[in-house]
Chain A
Amino acid sequence: AQRVTQPEKLLSVFKGAPVELKCNYSYSGSPELFWYVQYSRQRLQLLLRHISRESIKGFTADLNKGETSFHLKKPFAQEEDSAMYYCALSTYNQGGKLIFGQGTELSVKP
């Protein structure tokens, strides 16, 4: 079965601390993984995807096929990083639908 798991509902850190939001997936094919972010009162938007291998707003994520993980990391959290983060898997051959994890709320305290 296709599934995305984010084990933490809430992650609270202090400004300047490192952040790691965990994501594990279950998929029999070659997955395409994404991180989407939803800031307060804003719409869901793409943060990054594994194919592009880029760093956005200081965040990076590496696809580990052996551990079936796609954890999101940032070395020094900022208050403006506080948001809801969703890991998602794309089933490209089924209309490109996204399967989302449950989401992790990141709270960065001053």
Chain B
Amino acid sequence: NAGVTQTPKFQVLKTGQSMTLQCAQDMNHNSMYWYRQDPGMGLRLIYYSASEGTTDKGEVPNGYNVSRLNKREFSLRLESAAPSQTSVYFCASRDTHLAKNIQYFGAGTRLSVL
């Protein structure tokens, strides 16, 4: 019963390096999301994908790109990491079956950019 799986759990990057955060869900949900969590600011939406083949910007998209590879997978890419991107990143998918509107979250990726 995996739900939403994120990899890696931890990552340390140097300024300017690139990396991709992976997310996969096994609940057959259409919509998926990437949030970042910073102290005192709650979770803020970076990008979302309402359905396979579509992606849209959220509140804080600058410095990030996303790919909705298929229905299961939604990756987040940092092309040139900056210290301001040090954060905890959460992926989520949304259950809309029977008019539900509930998001399920992954365990998070803790990223430090030096």
Contacts and interface: CB of A to CB of B under 8 A. Distances in A.
Interface of A: 4, 6, 9, 32, 43-46, 49, 51, 86, 90, 92, 95-103
Given A46-B104, A98-B43, 6 more contacts: A46-B102, A95-B31, A95-B49, A97-B33, A99-B45, A101-B42
Contact of A32 (B42, B101, B107): B101
23 contacts: A4-B42, A32-B101, A44-B105, A46-B102, A46-B103, A46-B104, A49-B101, A90-B101, A95-B48, A95-B49, A95-B50, A96-B94, A96-B96, A96-B101, A96-B103, A97-B33, A97-B48, A98-B33, A98-B35, A98-B45, A98-B103, A100-B35, A102-B42
A85 B91 CA distance: 18
> Looking at chain B's contact residues, is the secondary structure mostly helix, strand, loop, or mixed?
strand
B42 A86 contact: yes
- B interface residue count range (under 10 / 10 to 19 / 20 to 34 / 35 or more): 20 to 34
Interface centre among B31, B105, B108 (most CB of A within 10 A): B105
Interface of B: 31, 33, 35, 40-45, 48-50, 56, 58, 90, 92, 94, 96, 101-108
A102 B103 contact: no
A13 to B, nearest CB: 21
